[in-house]
């Protein structure tokens, strides 16, 4: 329990690097030298508390250095281009240019805020908890969801958490143990541990987990990805926060222990077989504590007892107090902090990432009432110190000054990085297939349905309570037997109101093996397709970007990241859907110390979308409803099998990744959204992994009805010449739609852009209708049939797929019947 | 005057909002009350006519589901609870609330001793599961299910929902007409898993005390209040009210009739 001086004043370059490395500080030489310079002016060495505080504040995790850095980007054989900060240039600029007036708060608070109804706004945040989940799946995932819930709770003056979404990427669940890199946990163990962690935390908190995805790729084996998201509901007049000098710094919730120390800096290290010995970096979760904090703070919020709130996430009190007091100054007395056990060094108390702690700024006159509320909910609250007007962060321990830093240096002293990025497009072998025959396409379809990315995740979904809070109107599993794959979930957070929130996601790292630009574009398109498919709209849909990447200090990894961020700008602006929040997790690499091989994850961008739906009773689900109804394909199919599941099952990647054609895509989504709003559509499903073949099969077996289809009238690009492309190409901006015979004419006229009932149409789409440019390519490809037969005729009229929905469903459900 | 409904909360209660909404929809005047307020005497049980213990994970379900809250009721609220029950008022426990009532000895209450006679054990599937199931309404004197249709559809969401008891107890609650709901098959026959989602003895999903005024069930009626809660409302034509609403309506009507 003592404070050490760290001798950096006279340290040379090698010594500075050693201090950073041995202290798990993740600071590079430039940064260490900036710190050295600061303390040289003060003519003293830093204390361990000070050095740790700076390392945490400057960590990639907390300050996103890579997204702020100056990048020299070059495509192979091209001139160098300067990217002056990816965040500013691509993400933030997209939101500014779109200028949606329903965006209440973007990028500044712990989560993004958009308008909901007259009384409430919606907050949304998605985070990753990758490194902890690699070492300790249950605890890592549980505290991942716990952490993102606190982001909602720490937004504005606190939002009520109303929905969780979780997306996981794992190694292959049937990996042979011989192939497991040294020190890595088996993917199946990680999978089960992560699901249990999310289940136990989310269910105990009473938050429905109703949306998600699970992907598999061998490259996630050593470094799985765990994305956790939370949507919250916040009163409109509780969205702004402030700090006044004199406000008390109050910690609410759990006690502080030695768990989760160095989490912020640990996340900037690559993993290897020694990482698991860093057990203290993983936090320990207690969902009931967090539930109590929510209950106590919602009461205190409604009585306006505090002015500011933030969560203790990465970096613990250091981060929370440092950020809240950035504009004022703060004085903290560490001995006031309630500990789980004694014998913590001051820097450990200050940096601990012990879970379930929130920090609030309380005007002194409100303290008694706050304490009464906390006591009534059996929640501990402690006064740590005071916000000041000194612009300094001063930390005391039993009367001794253990840290005294300028807020300005702490928050603005970080030297800006310049990084190099290179993009050298890979060339993959291109397969040469014949046209195939009926048995082969039938088998291919079943194999794609059974592949782990596509297969039913019911085993996971049913372990999450998706009905709690009583507002879910479109479930994750839909259809005749409640087991078909819904495109997005819809919830009504204000019971009794029909206003809803749609949440969806888009992610497809396979295309990133060809070009991360197309992968990112497709992820946005997919997230939006899912929103549109259930009856949402583009007019009030916001996006979140969550990048998980390899080591950005390696120019090839960073080159892909630049392309991905660039696509985010291009496509978000084209669709008019702003980013409101996001996060990046870099350094996702695993070093196999036996082989020396460096395994980087596939570049993975998760796009999450949230849409406000005016009337949820207009929602549609993806299961077909009645025999005799007609099946349409909306949107054009291109020869884009690169990165497809069809190629994957035959051992190829190819080079023709699906592109987003934003003008076409936007028009398709707007007009289809209008058709659904007008009640012209009985069911709708987005075409993604596995193309039209998989989407149609899923609609059929979810509805318990067969289909008789023909590829003849499928809208296509002239380059498309073969049936396998029509069936399995994963071109973007396409949907399959079921229309009742009596609505057929109206539907066709609407999609052709000549529909006369234009009530409820946004001005922009109305204009397109009026100009006659609203037409969207559609094709009627068949009929829903009573029998369970699923038949697809190829362009030459012969049956190329002949099977039953029972067989298709069995393929789809068999993989994860655990 | 509107019947007054006390919705009991404690650490880990999490279905309080929708249970509160359900009682409000049917005309109850609701209060969310923390068990600490009852223990401290700040709120009096006797000021209410209906007491609801909602679902959730009270105290994390540590030790066993519902047992810590049950013990608080048993040891810290014994007198006021006894007085409340004796006065003929209503009590409903849903999911975790049912677990609490069973562990507090308030259900099935075959004698007035308050001894626990049944339990809700780990599901036979050995995991938490959320799914919609059919229930067959039994002939019983339960106030909450008077006039309820013979078959209702509701979601379950629990890990510890397997109703089990010694044969003699099962026989007696059946003979007394205390079995209120049984899990029912989707397509005829006996309700095997997942129709009986947890492996409950004799497919029992809900029971009442001999008076019919204390009632507990594992499924969640507060999660099916309107057509739009139903998992297949996009494909089936359904009445506007959900199957769960009548259970709350019956409670409120009963109190209104008495006063």
pLDDT digits 0-9 by tens, B30-79: 999 999 999 999 999 999 999 999 999 999 999 999 999 999 999 999 99
**Residue A756, pLDDT score:** 65
Four-residue CA torsion sign, A260, A264, A267, A270? negative
Give start and end residues of each alpha helix (H) in A253-314. 263-266, 287-302
**Three-state secondary-structure class, residue A211:** strand
State ipTM: 0.97
Tell me how many domains chain B contains: 1
**Three-state secondary-structure class, residue A168:** strand
Ordered DSSP codes for A31-80 = HHHHHHHHHHHHTSPPBHHHHHHHHHHTSHHHH-HHHHSEEEEEETTS-E
The answer to whether A502 touches A534, Cβ cutoff 8 Å, is yes
* Residue A330: φ, ψ to 5°: -155, 150
Instruction: Indicate the residue of A204, A498, A623 with minimum beta-carbon distance to B57.
Output: A204
Catalytic residues of B: 95, 220, 222
Binning pLDDT at 50, 70 and 90, where does residue B82 land?
A: very high
CA dihedral A549, A551, A555, A556 (to 10 degrees): -50
Whether the per-residue pLDDT at A294 is higher than 70: the answer is yes
Binning pLDDT at 50, 70 and 90, where does residue A451 land?
A: very high
Contact criterion met (CB < 8 Å) for B11 and A292: yes
Question: Mean pLDDT throughout A379-388?
Answer: 97
Shortest distance, CA A763 to any CA of chain B (angstroms) = 29
Whether the per-residue pLDDT at B188 is higher than 90: the answer is no
Shortest distance, CA B98 to any CA of chain A (angstroms) = 16
Ordered DSSP codes for A564-623 = HHHHHHHHHHHHT--EEEEEEE---EEE-TTT--EEEPPPEEEEEEEEEES-GGG--BSS
The mean pLDDT value of chain A amounts to 93
Which distant-in-sequence residues (6+ apart) come within 8 Å of A77 by Cβ? none
Binning pLDDT at 50, 70 and 90, where does residue A343 land?
A: confident
CA dihedral A538, A539, A544, A547 (to 10 degrees): 40
Distance CA A28, CA A66 (A): 13
- Residue A665 is classified by DSSP as H
**Three-state secondary-structure class, residue A661:** coil
In the numeric block, the tokens 């997306």 are attached to A167
Binning pLDDT at 50, 70 and 90, where does residue A267 land?
A: low
Binning pLDDT at 50, 70 and 90, where does residue A279 land?
A: low
Residue B232: its chain A contacts at CB < 8 A?
478-480, 482
pLDDT of A739-757, one tens digit each?
999 999 999 999 998 766 6
The mean pLDDT value of chain B amounts to 96
Residue A291: its chain B contacts at CB < 8 A?
11-12, 14
**Residue A263, pLDDT score:** 66
Distance CA A420, CA A424 (A): 13
Catalytic residues of A: 61, 129
Contact criterion met (CB < 8 Å) for A206 and B56: yes
CA A509 vs. chain centroid, Å, equals 13
Binning pLDDT at 50, 70 and 90, where does residue A768 land?
A: confident
**Residue A599, pLDDT score:** 84
Task: Identify the architecture of domain A94-240+488-612 in CATH.
Answer: 2-Layer Sandwich (3.30)
Q: Which helix (H) or strand (E) holds B97?
A: helix B96-103
The answer to whether A297 touches A309, Cβ cutoff 8 Å, is yes
**Residue A437, pLDDT score:** 58
Closest residue in A to B131 (Cα) is A462
Other residues' Cβ atoms within 10 Å of the Cβ of residue A759: 7
Contact criterion met (CB < 8 Å) for B14 and A478: no
Instruction: Indicate the residue of A467, A492, A625 with minimum beta-carbon distance to B223.
Output: A467
Question: The tokens of B48 are what?
Answer: 């209410």
Residue B11: its chain A contacts at CB < 8 A?
288, 291-292, 295, 377-378
For residue A432, give Cα distances in angstroms to A658, A667, A720, A727: 18, 34, 15, 16
pLDDT of A137-159, one tens digit each?
999 999 999 999 999 999 999 99
- State which residues form the domain around B231: 4-258
Whether the per-residue pLDDT at A435 is higher than 80: the answer is no
**Interface membership of B193 toward A (CB under 8 Å):** no
Shortest distance, CA A482 to any CA of chain B (angstroms) = 7
Distance CA A151, CA A313 (A): 8
Contact criterion met (CB < 8 Å) for B235 and A625: yes
Question: Mean pLDDT throughout A736-741?
Answer: 98
A-B Cβ pairs (cutoff 8 Å, strict): 111
Whether the per-residue pLDDT at A281 is higher than 70: the answer is no
Extents of the domains making up chain A: 1-64+241-414, 94-240+488-612, 425-455+620-818
**Three-state secondary-structure class, residue A799:** strand
Taking the CA of residue A155 as centre, how many other CA atoms within 13 Å lie in the half-sphere pointing to its CB?
A: 34
**Interface membership of B21 toward A (CB under 8 Å):** yes
Shortest distance, CA B113 to any CA of chain A (angstroms) = 31
Contact criterion met (CB < 8 Å) for A472 and B37: no
Binning pLDDT at 50, 70 and 90, where does residue A758 land?
A: low
Shortest distance, CA B239 to any CA of chain A (angstroms) = 14
**Interface membership of B209 toward A (CB under 8 Å):** no
Interface test with A, best of B134, B234, B238, B248 (most A CBs within 10 A): B234
Taking the CA of residue A505 as centre, how many other CA atoms within 13 Å lie in the half-sphere pointing to its CB?
A: 27
pLDDT of B207-242, one tens digit each?
999 999 999 999 999 999 999 999 999 999 999 999
pLDDT of A646-694, one tens digit each?
999 999 999 999 999 999 999 999 999 999 999 999 999 999 999 999 9
**Interface membership of B128 toward A (CB under 8 Å):** yes
Other residues' Cβ atoms within 10 Å of the Cβ of residue A506: 27
Q: Which helix (H) or strand (E) holds B209?
A: none
**Interface membership of A373 toward B (CB under 8 Å):** no
Q: Which range among A146-155, A346-355, A587-596 shows the weakest confidence by mean pLDDT? A: A587-596
Shortest distance, CA B110 to any CA of chain A (angstroms) = 32
Domain CATH for B140: 3.40.50.880
Instruction: Indicate the residue of B15, B131, B229 with minimum beta-carbon distance to A206.
Output: B15
More confident residue, A521 or A598: A521
Binning pLDDT at 50, 70 and 90, where does residue A113 land?
A: very high
Question: The tokens of B248 are what?
Answer: 């709350």
If you count them, how many residues does chain A have?
Answer: 818
**Interface membership of B63 toward A (CB under 8 Å):** no
Interface test with B, best of A161, A204, A232, A288 (most B CBs within 10 A): A288
Distance CA A218, CA A221 (A): 6
For residue A283, give Cα distances in angstroms to A36, A192, A316: 31, 19, 11
The answer to whether B54 touches B258, Cβ cutoff 8 Å, is no
**Three-state secondary-structure class, residue B236:** coil
Whether the per-residue pLDDT at A544 is higher than 60: the answer is yes
In terms of phi and psi (left: phi > 0; alpha: psi -120 to 50; beta: otherwise), the region of A637 is: beta
Residues 147 to 176 of B: which have CB under 8 A from any A CB? 155, 157
More confident residue, A505 or A265: A505
The answer to whether B51 touches B84, Cβ cutoff 8 Å, is yes
Contact criterion met (CB < 8 Å) for B18 and A495: yes
CATH code, residues A1-64+241-414: 3.90.650.10
Whether the per-residue pLDDT at A523 is higher than 90: the answer is yes
Give ∠ CA A516-A521-A522 in degrees, rounded to 5.
95
**Residue A268, pLDDT score:** 66
Residue B223: its chain A contacts at CB < 8 A?
467-468, 470
Residues 64 to 83 of A: which have CB under 8 A from any B CB? none
Residue A491: its chain B contacts at CB < 8 A?
none
**Residue A226, pLDDT score:** 96
Contact criterion met (CB < 8 Å) for A470 and B18: yes
Residue B60: its chain A contacts at CB < 8 A?
204, 286-288
Strand order in the sheet with A589-591: A271-272, A589-591, A598-600
Distance CA B89, CA B109 (A): 15
Whether the per-residue pLDDT at A373 is higher than 70: the answer is yes
Question: Mean pLDDT throughout A716-721?
Answer: 94
Contact criterion met (CB < 8 Å) for A464 and B228: no
pLDDT of A561-571, one tens digit each?
999 999 999 99
Four-residue CA torsion sign, A444, A445, A446, A447? positive
**Interface membership of A465 toward B (CB under 8 Å):** yes
Distance CA A738, CA B197 (A): 33
Contact criterion met (CB < 8 Å) for B130 and A466: yes
The answer to whether A511 touches A657, Cβ cutoff 8 Å, is yes
Same fold, A94-240+488-612 and A425-455+620-818: no
Residue B220: its chain A contacts at CB < 8 A?
467
Closest residue in A to B154 (Cα) is A467
Instruction: Indicate the residue of B34, B57, B155 with minimum beta-carbon distance to A288.
Output: B57
* Residue B59: φ, ψ to 5°: 50, 35
**Residue A448, pLDDT score:** 98
Residues 391 to 450 of A: which have CB under 8 A from any B CB? none
pLDDT of A202-227, one tens digit each?
999 999 999 999 999 999 999 999 99
**Interface membership of A466 toward B (CB under 8 Å):** yes
Domain at A425-455+620-818, CATH class: alpha beta
**Residue A1, pLDDT score:** 61
Interface test with A, best of B40, B231, B244 (most A CBs within 10 A): B231
Distance CA A166, CA A441 (A): 33
In the numeric block, the tokens 């089936």 are attached to B236
Contact criterion met (CB < 8 Å) for B12 and A478: no
Instruction: Indicate the residue of B14, B37, B225 with minimum beta-carbon distance to A206.
Output: B14
**Interface membership of A335 toward B (CB under 8 Å):** no
- Residue A87 is classified by DSSP as I
């Amino acid at each position: 329990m003592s404070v050490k001086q760290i001798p950096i004043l006279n340290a040379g370059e090698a010594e500075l690097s050693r201090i950073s490395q041995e202290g798990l500080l993740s600071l590079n030489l430039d940064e260490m030298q900036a710190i050295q310079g600061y303390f040289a002016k003060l003519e003293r060495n830093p204390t361990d508390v000070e050095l740790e505080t700076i390392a945490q504040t400057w960590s990639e995790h907390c300050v996103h250095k890579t997204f702020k850095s100056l990048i020299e980007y070059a495509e192979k054989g091209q001139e160098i281009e300067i990217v002056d900060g990816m965040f500013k240039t691509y993400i933030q600029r997209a939101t500014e240019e779109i200028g949606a007036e329903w965006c209440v708060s973007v990028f500044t608070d712990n989560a993004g805020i958009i308008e909901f109804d007259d009384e409430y706004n919606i907050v949304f945040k998605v985070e990753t908890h990758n490194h902890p989940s690699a070492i300790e799946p249950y605890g890592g995932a549980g505290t991942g969801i716990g952490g993102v819930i606190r982001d909602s709770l720490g937004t504005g003056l606190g939002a009520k958490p109303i929905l969780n979404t979780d997306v996981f990427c794992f190694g292959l669940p049937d990996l042979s143990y011989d192939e497991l890199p040294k020190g890595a946990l088996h993917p199946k163990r990680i999978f089960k541990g992560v699901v249990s962690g999310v289940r136990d935390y989310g269910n105990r908190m009473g938050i429905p987990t109703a949306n998600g995805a699970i992907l598999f790729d061998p490259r996630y084996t050593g470094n799985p990805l765990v994305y956790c998201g939370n949507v919250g509901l916040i009163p409109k007049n509780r969205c702004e926060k402030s700090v006044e000098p004199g406000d008390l710094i109050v910690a609410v919730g759990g006690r502080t222990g030695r768990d989760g120390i160095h989490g912020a800096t640990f996340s900037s290290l690559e993993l290897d077989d020694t990482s698991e010995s860093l057990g203290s970096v993983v936090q320990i979760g207690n969902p009931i504590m967090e539930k109590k904090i929510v209950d106590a703070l919602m009461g205190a919020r409604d009585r306006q007892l505090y002015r500011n709130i933030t969560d203790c996430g990465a970096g613990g009190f250091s981060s929370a107090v440092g950020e809240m007091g950035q504009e004022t100054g703060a004085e903290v007395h560490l001995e006031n902090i309630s500990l789980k056990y004694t014998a913590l060094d001051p820097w450990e108390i200050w940096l601990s990432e012990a879970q379930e702690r929130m920090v609030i700024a309380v005007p002194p006159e409100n303290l008694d009432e706050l304490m009464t509320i906390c006591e009534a909910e059996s929640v501990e609250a402690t006064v740590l110190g005071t916000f000041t007007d000194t612009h300094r962060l001063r930390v005391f321990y039993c009367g001794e000054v253990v840290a005294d830093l300028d807020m300005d240096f702490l928050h603005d002293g970080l030297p800006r990085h310049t990084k190099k990025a290179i993009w050298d497009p890979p060339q993959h072998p291109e397969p040469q297939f014949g046209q195939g025959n009926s048995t082969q396409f039938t088998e291919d379809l079943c194999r794609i349905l059974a592949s782990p990315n596509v297969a039913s995740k019911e085993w996971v979904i049913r372990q999450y309570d998706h009905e709690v809070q009583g507002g879910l109107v479109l479930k994750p599993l839909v259809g005749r037997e409640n087991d078909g794959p819904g495109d997005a979930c819809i919830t009504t957070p204000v019971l009794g109101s029909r206003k809803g929130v749609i949440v969806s996601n888009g992610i497809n790292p396979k295309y990133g093996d060809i070009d991360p630009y197309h992968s990112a574009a497709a992820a946005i398109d997919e997230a939006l397709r899912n929103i549109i498919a259930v009856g949402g709209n583009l007019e009030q849909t916001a996006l979140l970007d969550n990048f998980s990447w390899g080591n950005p200090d390696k120019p090839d990894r960073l080159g892909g990241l630049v392309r991905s961020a660039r696509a985010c700008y291009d496509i978000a602006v084209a669709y008019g859907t702003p980013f409101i929040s996001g996060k990046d997790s870099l350094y996702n690499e695993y070093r196999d110390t036996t082989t020396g091989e460096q395994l980087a994850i596939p570049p993975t961008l998760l796009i999450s979308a949230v849409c406000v739906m005016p009337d949820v009773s207009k929602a549609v689900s993806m299961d077909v409803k009645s025999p005799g109804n007609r099946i349409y394909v909306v949107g054009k199919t291109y020869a884009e099998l690169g990165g497809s599941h069809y190629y994957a099952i035959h051992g190829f990647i190819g080079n023709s990744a699906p592109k987003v054609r934003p003008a076409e895509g936007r028009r398709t989504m707007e007009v289809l959204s209008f058709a659904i709003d007008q009640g012209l559509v009985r069911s709708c499903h987005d075409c993604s992994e596995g193309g039209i073949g998989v989407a149609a099969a899923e609609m059929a077996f979810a509805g318990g009805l067969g289909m008789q289809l023909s590829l003849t009238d499928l809208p296509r690009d002239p380059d498309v010449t073969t049936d396998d492309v029509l069936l399995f190409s994963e071109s973007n901006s396409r949907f399959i739609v079921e229309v009742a015979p009596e609505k057929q004419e109206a539907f066709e006229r609407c999609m052709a852009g000549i529909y006369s009932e234009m009530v409820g149409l946004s001005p922009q789409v109305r204009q397109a209708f009026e100009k006659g440019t609203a037409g969207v390519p559609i094709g009627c490809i068949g009929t829903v049939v009573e029998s369970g037969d699923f038949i697809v005729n190829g362009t030459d009229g012969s049956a190329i797929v002949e099977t039953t929905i029972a067989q298709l469903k069995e393929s789809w459900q068999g993989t994860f019947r655990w | 005057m509107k019947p007054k409904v006390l919705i009991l909360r404690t650490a880990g209660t999490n279905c309080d909002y929708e249970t509160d909404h359900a009682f409000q929809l049917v005309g109850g005047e609701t209060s969310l009350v923390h068990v600490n307020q009852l223990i401290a005497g700040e709120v009096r049980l006797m000021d209410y006519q209906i007491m609801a213990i909602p679902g959730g994970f009270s105290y994390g379900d540590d030790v066993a589901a519902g047992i810590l809250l049950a013990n608080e009721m048993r040891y810290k609220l014994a007198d006021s609870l006894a007085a409340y029950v004796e006065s003929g008022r209503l009590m409903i426990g849903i999911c975790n609330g049912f677990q609490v009532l069973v562990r507090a000895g308030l259900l099935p209450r075959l004698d007035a001793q308050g001894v626990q006679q049944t339990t809700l054990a780990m599901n036979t599937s050995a995991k938490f599961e959320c799914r919609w199931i059919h229930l067959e309404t039994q002939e019983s004197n339960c106030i909450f299910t008077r006039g309820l249709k013979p078959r209702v559809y509701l979601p379950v969401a629990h890990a510890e929902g397997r109703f089990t008891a010694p044969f003699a107890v099962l026989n007696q609650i059946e003979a007394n007409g205390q079995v209120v709901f049984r899990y029912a098959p989707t397509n005829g026959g006996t309700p095997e898993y997942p129709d009986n989602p947890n492996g409950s003895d004799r497919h029992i999903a809900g029971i009442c005390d001999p008076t019919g005024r204390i009632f507990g069930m594992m499924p969640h009626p507060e999660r099916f209040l309107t057509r739009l809660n139903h998992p297949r409302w996009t494909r089936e034509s359904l009445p506007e009210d959900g199957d769960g609403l009548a259970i709350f309506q019956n409670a409120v009507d009963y109190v209104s009739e008495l006063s």
